[in-house]
A and B are shown apart, each in its own frame.
Chain A
Amino acid sequence: GESVGLHLPTLSVQEGDNSIINCAYSNSASDYFIWYKQESGKGPQFIIDIRSNMDKRQGQRVTVLLNKTVKHLSLQIAATQPGDSAVYFCAENNYGQNFVFGPGTRLSVLP
């Protein structure tokens, strides 16, 4: 299949290890944040979201952490699996304006 991001930063992790993907967002007024996963040949898919009144939110195998002081967002994936290999984007939204996407990180899961 096609490669979405040939020159993106890459994070390589061993299968079964935990992954941490980081994102610095730009607008201190942003109040809603999403992590998207994009596999080759597909559009971005929702993983997890968090609002600015929270600093942590957990889903199934994923956790998002928000640090508004330094405008930093992270995505933690527990027990990383081969199916987690993809490009991950953070996106921020400011009170109903359009989403602004971060640069993306390619996650590569090693057997």
Chain B
Amino acid sequence: SAVISQKPSRDICQRGTSLTIQCQVDSQVTMMFWYRQQPGQSLTLIATANQGSEATYESGFVIDKFPISRPNLTFSTLTVSNMSPEDSSIYLCSVDMTGGNTEAFFGQGTRLTVV
């Protein structure tokens, strides 16, 4: 299993600003994922972050808006840039220990409100 810590747990931000969310895992993992969960919605994958390479973004998400860092095997950050109220969501970090063959573990999420 894996224990995942996300910071901050919540924030209220002004539109036009940027917020960086941190994800720390208690063990080394190859694959880390960032999801967005909009109000009343399910989880949507933003990107996959692998150490030593650029993140792979899903359709509808771009690096300029959601830059991701993955400096080592236990840590990643997601930045939400130039925020608008439409970016108000829960952002979740997830790790996969075995490449999709077993459960993915999730952090508690970061609840972002943009005003």
Contact residues, B60-115 vs A (CB, 8 A): 90, 92, 94, 99-109, 111
Which residue from A6, A43, A103 sits with its C-beta under 8 Å from B108? A43
Number of contacts between A and B (CB, 8 Å)? 63
- Report how far A43 CA is from B92 CA in the complex, Å: 7
Which A-chain residue is minimally distant from B43 (CB atoms)? Answer: A101
Are A41's CB and B41's CB within 8 A? no
Which B-chain residue is minimally distant from A93 (CB atoms)? Answer: B100
Residue count of chain B within 8 Å CB distance of chain A: 26
Complex contacts, B109 vs chain A, CB 8 Å: 41-43
Are B108's CB and A98's CB within 8 A? no
- Report how far A89 CA is from B45 CA in the complex, Å: 14
Contact residues, A53-96 vs B (CB, 8 A): 89, 91, 93-96
Are B43's CB and A44's CB within 8 A? yes
Are A34's CB and B111's CB within 8 A? no
Are B43's CB and A98's CB within 8 A? no
Residue in B94, B104, B107, B111 with the greatest tally of chain A CB atoms within 10 Å: B104
Are A97's CB and B42's CB within 8 A? no
- Report how far A96 CA is from B111 CA in the complex, Å: 28
Which B-chain residue is minimally distant from A42 (CB atoms)? Answer: B108
- Report how far A34 CA is from B100 CA in the complex, Å: 11
Contact residues, B39-68 vs A (CB, 8 A): 39-45, 48
Q: A43-B107, A101-B42, A101-B43 are in contact. List 14 more A-B contacts (CB 8 A).
A: A4-B90, A32-B100, A34-B103, A41-B108, A43-B4, A43-B94, A44-B43, A44-B106, A49-B102, A89-B43, A98-B33, A98-B100, A99-B94, A103-B41
